[in-house]
Structure 1
Amino acid sequence: MKNAIEVNNLRKEFKAYSSRTGLKGAFRDLFTRNYKIVPAVNDIRFSVKQGEMVGYIGENGAGKSTTIKMLTGILTPTSGDISVNGMNPHKERERFVQTIGVVFGQRSQLWWDIAVQESFRLLKKVYKVSDAQYNDHMNHVIQTLDIEPLLDKPVRKLSLGQRMRCELAAALIHNPPLLFLDEPTIGLDVLVKLKIREFLKEINQKYNTTILLTTHDLSDIEALCERVIMLDEGKIIYDGALKNLKDTWGDGKTLQFQFIDSVDFAALKTVTSDMPVKWERDEEEQIFTALIDDNDELISQLIAKIVAAFKIRDIKINETSTEEIIRNIYEKGSV
């Protein structure tokens, strides 16, 4: 299987200017400015296979959007090599843009004052898509994203969720083999997010579309991506399966117990004193939480002991969320 994206030693530096203090300093700034070179992306390397759905994650300022802009040809790298769909994005720009779709959550590619379908027609001409290709592909996209009632409306009259569904459809008019999504679900409600996620899964399966997704909403990553690339201060600190990240960094499971009768906390600890369990309690809600390793046999033994000793009203088993795992990684500095 060929690679849709290949990145080697990619680097992007910016000049960060600073102002001198006082009137004298302001006068000197007119002639010479103080600055330092800041690497936004720091000699990274990775590849993405055709048909993969990859989550590209990191804190604000980690370098995610800068990477996407270099991969799409908007920014020129300071150094390093990029190959996307077998082309250099900023050197073969006209041919290259025919092979990608891009959705920036905070920027629109639709014309603000005209109807959505007019924007679609303009983009159809730009990408030289035939009527037959457009009708065959876009009828399915419009129906799946449920945007047919929106086609006659000007973009400025759409809600954020409606506009984002139209933006996604616009990025797919030429049915590109590679789709870049930068915060595509920012500010959207749960139902719209679910609709967009289901649609992305469908086009990935139907057309083998490669998707590189950057987002702060980790539920998007969990729903769509098996692989994540994690960036911190311009460097890749993790590149691998999301499952491995959870297995390695997950702090076990938590079991929440609610009892029919009042239970003494000390008695609860005594019952499980021979097990590697840490107990916490919420006095107000009368919820007792056991922290234990993610081991099926251990969890079964713990439940058996508690059920034998006390009358249970409710049990909930929770694993450490991806959000908590990633927060722990960033707090500790690396994987």
Structure 2
Amino acid sequence: MEKVIEVKNISKTYVKRKTKESITAVNDISFDVYRGEVLGLLGPNGAGKTSTIKMICGLLAQDQGSIHINGMDVRKDRLKALRHISAVLEGNRNLYWRLTVRENMEYFAGNRGRSRREMTNQIEKLIIQFGLKGKENELVNGLSRGMQQKLAIAVALLANTEVILLDEPTLGLDVEISYELREILKTIVKEDRRTIIISSHDMPVVQELCDRVTIINQGTVIVDEKVNNLLELFETRAYSIKLGNPLTENQESQLLSTFPLCTYKRGPLQALVEVNLERSDDIYDLIEIFKAERTIVESIDRASIDFEQVFMKVVKGERNYAMA
């Protein structure tokens, strides 16, 4: 596959003004983005994800390493490199609030060198696709947050760049608008096949849209893998075990020390254990805990798992998630 973005060994350190203390936000991060794929760039708050995004967009200069977009160095040939990427950043929508919906679309497309004739049909298509019909002559500052976000993404698409970066595209939106926007993005991914980078804490968005994820934590890349591979990997390890009687205090303590990421739900007469078995022989350790007090095991079932659970397990440091 052809690389469209190459991030190599980038680092970024900040210095606190008052204490002069150095804080490393990004520490030797490397990853690639391939043409036509949808990449999820993920990480918990404070992981270094925002700094990485700003460096890719040319808003922040890295201390070390390099970033290339279509072979052009973002630091050395910033303007040329950034012609190939458009972005919608959280809290910094690419809109003029005193212009109408249509005026914003025409203005920003014109800024990218597109003629009115060239962009008219695409503007009409996007107005319909993003549910903005009937709103095209309204001022942006009078639109709902959801409408503003949809317009911001439509404007980014109008730039016709090879890469689109969407930072928290569904943040702060109600359930209905978030679902609607997710469906729109799924259609765009299917029909347009442009390279898209999505940074989001909305894991259904990641699971439904992304081909691959790069997960950053504590300034470093901890996972770079296809979404389906991660789901399959963790699903084969996730078990739900129904017990005929609760564990004793000693058993519960041993369970949580042996499997610190497991969940134990105690009822008056029964109990439920949800656990990920990282190694094939972990099942013997689990059975030994039950066997110690002759606890009745009523059923052992494979547990279903979604990408939010995968993300949390990876970030919490579950071992051996790397693919062969």
Quickly name the TM-score band, shorter chain normalised: 0.7 to 0.9
The equivalent residue for 1:173 is: 158
User: Runs of 4+ in structure 1 displaced over 3 angstroms?
Assistant: 247-251, 253-256, 278-283, 286-294
- Structure 2 regions of 5+ residues with no counterpart? 246-262, 278-300
Residues 124 and 174, structure 1, Cα contact 8 Å, conserved in 2:
yes
The equivalent residue for 1:270 is: none
**1:158 alignment partner, one of 143, 150, 158:** 143
Kindly state the Cα deviation for residue 288 of structure 1 after the two structures are TM-superposed: 7.5
Residues 212 and 226, structure 2, Cα contact 8 Å, conserved in 1:
yes
Check 1:333–1:265 CA distance in 2 against 1; reply closer, same or farther (3 A cut): closer
**1:176-212 CA deviation, whole Å, 9 max, x = no partner?**
1100011111011223222222322333333320011
**What RMSD in Å do the two structures reach over aligned CA positions?**
2.9
Residues 253 and 320, structure 1, Cα contact 8 Å, conserved in 2:
no
Check 1:279–1:185 CA distance in 2 against 1; reply closer, same or farther (3 A cut): closer
Distance 1:57 1:280 in 2: 30
**1:22-45 CA deviation, whole Å, 9 max, x = no partner?**
xxxxxxxxxxxx412222111111
Check 1:333–1:133 CA distance in 2 against 1; reply closer, same or farther (3 A cut): same
**1:57 alignment partner, one of 28, 38, 42:** 42
Q: Does 1:11 align with 2:2?
A: no
Distance 1:99 1:134 in 2: 18
Check 1:319–1:123 CA distance in 2 against 1; reply closer, same or farther (3 A cut): same
Distance 1:114 1:171 in 2: 16
- Structure 1 regions of 5+ residues with no counterpart? 19-33, 257-263, 267-277, 295-315
Kindly state the Cα deviation for residue 289 of structure 1 after the two structures are TM-superposed: 5.2
The DSSP-based 3-state class of the residue aligned with 1:323 is helix
The equivalent residue for 1:252 is: 238
Compare 188-197 and 39-48 and name the one that shifted more.
Answer: 188-197
User: TM-score, normalized by length of structure 1?
Assistant: 0.75
Distance 1:124 1:246 in 2: 39
**1:280-328 CA deviation, whole Å, 9 max, x = no partner?**
5656xx997575889xxxxxxxxxxxxxxxxxxxxx9851332223223
**1:85-124 CA deviation, whole Å, 9 max, x = no partner?**
2222233233333321201132121112221222222212
Residues 101 and 171, structure 1, Cα contact 8 Å, conserved in 2:
yes
Residues 255 and 291, structure 1, Cα contact 8 Å, conserved in 2:
yes
**1:146 alignment partner, one of 131, 139, 145:** 131
Distance 2:87 2:143 in 1: 20
The equivalent residue for 1:301 is: none
Letter in 1 for 2:26: V
Residues 90 and 168, structure 2, Cα contact 8 Å, conserved in 1:
yes
**What is the number of residues matched between the two proteins?**
281
User: TM-score, normalized by length of structure 2?
Assistant: 0.77
Computing the radius of gyration over CA atoms, which structure comes out larger, 1 or 2? 1
**1:147-188 CA deviation, whole Å, 9 max, x = no partner?**
122221111111111110011011111221100011111011
Distance 1:292 1:326 in 2: 16
Check 1:190–1:254 CA distance in 2 against 1; reply closer, same or farther (3 A cut): farther
The DSSP-based 3-state class of the residue aligned with 2:188 is helix
Check 1:162–1:292 CA distance in 2 against 1; reply closer, same or farther (3 A cut): same
Compare 41-50 and 188-197 and name the one that shifted more.
Answer: 188-197
Distance 1:119 1:150 in 2: 12
**1:196 alignment partner, one of 160, 173, 181:** 181
Distance 2:23 2:274 in 1: 43
Distance 2:275 2:89 in 1: 41
Kindly state the Cα deviation for residue 244 of structure 1 after the two structures are TM-superposed: 2.6
**1:190-247 CA deviation, whole Å, 9 max, x = no partner?**
2322222232233333332001111111111011012111101110001001223233
Residues 6 and 32, structure 2, Cα contact 8 Å, conserved in 1:
yes
